Structure 1
């Protein structure tokens, strides 16, 4: 238990001691990094006379030290949505993702039940943020909260600088001027590096015995326009390929055959999934960029408005969530300008194979293709000036 955060406060949020354990990473994975399982403890203290609080957010940024190597949040809990009525246990798989467990003695994380909605943002970067939203009229509940992070830090690093910030909302009368403010605070978290003869947390699902059905499976909604029969069929084959490679796919071709409200269906899927894939095409580009008129292509126009609205309001979260994809028969120029085809990443699928979607799958898991090598030393020769004869 590291007491460094204990007593740190941001508004009504108070940090308590955190638990830090080293993780025994599988060989040939996460080279150049140490892995840690961090339990984050914090309290929300609300005065009894305080108005209800519809939501509050707490975020942690793991700042880089003297080197340029960044810490990486591989996964975090709570992840999305509301927890079930009973606590839910999790273990780590070999990719250091949290996966549901049957609740036996090997359980490493127990996620408490809650009646509030909790959304997580930031996995794959160097920060993590949780938004607590009250689903009733009473506001979010005060008291103690717990969250878990799988954190990668540069190999050998013994402490990590953490910056904490928070945001709040209060239920006040319309004539009351209220603007939530925050002053971030930081502290240094002690890390537990792996030591010879001392085992850390071991992923419970080894490569030889793990059940693939229990691994993390990202979910996606495929947004595309019906430009042509070829484009529709290639989109379907692309969805099949994602599903065959462990991705939960939602697209209209899988829902045909029953009558329903496509607008409601699309909105629900867009908000529920982990990622939204937008397939580049001429009609898709025109829909997102507002160039279609009249009664043309109502489906893609409705979906593009929903996605653009979320990008406008929640730019940071949805830039990482919306993934522009170029299928083999399409062009990068047909990525909508609203999706920043050049100033943000896009994903070209040159062939409909597992290798052809590797970059896209890595964008969903947050695992880079290459690991940074350990930091070496500058050559001795560059640490002194050359003599006159040498120059």
Structure 2
């Protein structure tokens, strides 16, 4: 795609004492980050999972150019923001490289039903091949409308110049012809204390055409069985189920609910799966709560009383300990943990039994009216960041519909 071939950001050094101005006229170039052609493929999404959205598998090709006399560069970072009138109109579902030290050999991946990248065992099913690199790569932004990758050199050698590649899955409103993208870059240099360094201040905008991808007959089909191939992969949401032992029926329904989540690609921790060996349940619960992506709290009368501090004496020590741990984290890190703690109402329970501490009405809760994939659809979307509806394109009022304000008529 020609527009992307011309997109680059100069990396510059500004000497101390100079005024902090745009470095184009004052900076000394030490290289650039340069976008090459992108590959955009349409994804055939599973039915009833991404209604109102088009899904795209995008390969981003980019170069890091470093002048031969440039000091060692410990790290560099590129970021892309997918813009529209409302930022929620676009969602980065998943991206590669994800995090950690990249493999020294190319690694194959396939898309699962949630449009997450999972490792592929067979070459025939491979849809994405992640290039080899020895840098550490950290990725940020999945679930929002932007993504960035930070390449960090290991062993003090400096990041290498040359070509790189990254992949992402992007949701856009159905029928959208092009996508506005904002590209920016940051970097670090090993320079003397009297020298300041920074990239170009103004990000670069360009338009990514989606027409060819939408009309392409050779689309990418996710693997509907990939979610069950290896439940231990880090790309599956992980949850801890916090619930009270109100009755045998409640305990059994909680177990069936957990099994349903596992069948739909969610890694689940709950006490029923850890029974059989003596251990400290308090330590076990604290470790699980801090390790997982989400904590599901199942509404019930005893659960509500535990969270709201209405139990006394030796009543139900397990749920009381877990509720204290969760309430403490909500108090200390409200924004992070409000999104992480998901109140769930099972078919036999009532919304009124969601603890008041979890804000059943001023924040979202999740009614599971039946133990089926459709019944947990809203909950799965909350954990995967996939919205249920898209905003329709902005229409245009017919001529003559708009009337002047009364004060303007005179």
> Could you tell me the TM-score, scaled by structure 2's length?
0.66
Distance verdict in 2 for CA 1:368–1:15, change over 3 Å:
same
C-alpha change, 1:224 and 1:156, in structure 2 (3 Å) is closer
For residues 282 and 181 of structure 1, what CA distance do their matches in structure 2 show?
Answer: 57
- 2:20 corresponds in structure 1 to none
Looking at structure 2, the residues matched to 234 and 76 of structure 1 have their Cα atoms a distance apart, in angstroms, of 35
Output the CA distance in 1 between the equivalents of 2:329 and 2:274: 20
Matched, 1:62 2:82: yes
SS at match of 1:235: helix
Q: Take 1:183 and 1:292, find their aligned partners in 2: how far apart are those partners?
A: 57
Contact 2:330 2:338 in 1 (8 A): no
- Aligned CA distance change for structure 1 residues 109 and 27 (closer, same or farther; 3 Å): closer
Counterparts of 1:353 and 1:268, CA distance in 2: 29
Q: What SS is found at the alignment partner of 1:258?
A: coil
- For residues 335-377 of structure 1, the C-alpha deviation after alignment (integer angstroms, 9 at most, x for no partner) is 453x554443221223434333221122233333344555554
The 5-angstrom pairing of residues 19-30 of structure 1 reads 19-25=38-44
How do 1:143-292 and structure 2 match up within 5 A?
A: 143=160, 146-154=165-173, 155-162=175-182, 164=184, 185-194=203-212, 199=216, 202-205=219-222, 213-214=228-229, 218-226=236-244, 228-230=246-248, 231-262=250-281, 265-266=284-285, 269-270=288-289, 272-281=291-300
Question: 3-state SS of the aligned residue for 2:375?
Answer: helix
Structure 2 stretches of 5 or more lacking a match?
14-30, 191-197, 405-410
Distance 1:92 1:309, change over 3 A: same
The answer to whether structure 1 residue 300 and structure 2 residue 322 are counterparts is: yes
TM alignment of 1:15-94, pairs within 5 A: 16-17=35-36, 19-25=38-44, 33-40=53-60, 41=62, 43=64, 59-65=79-85, 70-79=89-98, 86-93=105-112
Question: Which string of whole-angstrom CA distances, capped at 9 and with x for unpartnered residues, describes residues 108-127 of structure 1?
Answer: 32224667775655434322
Unpaired runs of 5+ residues, structure 1, are 171-179, 386-391
CA shift digits 1:119-142 (9 cap, x unpaired): 6554343223557789x8x57963
C-alpha spacing 1:115/1:340, structure 2 compared with 1 (3 Å) = farther
2 CA distance for matches of 1:376 and 1:227?
A: 53
Contact 1:116-1:133 within 8 A present in 2 as well:
yes
**Secondary structure, counterpart of 2:9 in structure 1:** coil
The alpha carbon displacement at 1:75 in A equals: 2.4
**In 1: Cα distance, 2:352 partner to 2:77 partner:** 37
Q: Which has the larger radius of gyration?
A: 2
Cα offset for 1:249? 1.7
Question: May I ask how many residue pairs the two structures share in their alignment?
Answer: 365
Q: Note the C-alpha offset of 1:238.
A: 1.9
Deviation, 1:102, is 3.2
Distance 1:378 1:277, change over 3 A: same
For 1:152, what is the secondary structure of its paired residue?
strand
**Which whole-Å CA distance do the structure 2 matches of 1:7 and 1:347 have between them?**
45
Corresponding residue number in structure 2 for 1:142? 159
| Per-residue deviation, residues 213-264 of structure 1 (Å, max 9, x unmatched) | 3599833322314352354443223212322444332212101112345455
Distance 2:307 2:158 in 1: 40
Shift in Å, 1:300: 0.4
Work out which of the residue numbers 331, 335, 350 in structure 1 matches 2:369: 350
| 1:33 Cα offset (Å) | 4.5
Further displaced range: 292-301 or 365-374: 292-301
Structure 1 residues 373 and 253, CA, compared in 2 at 3 Å: closer, same or farther? Answer: same
- TM-superposed CA distance for 1:73, in Å, is 1.8
Cα RMSD over matched residues? 5.0
- 1:18 offset after TM fit, Å? 5.4
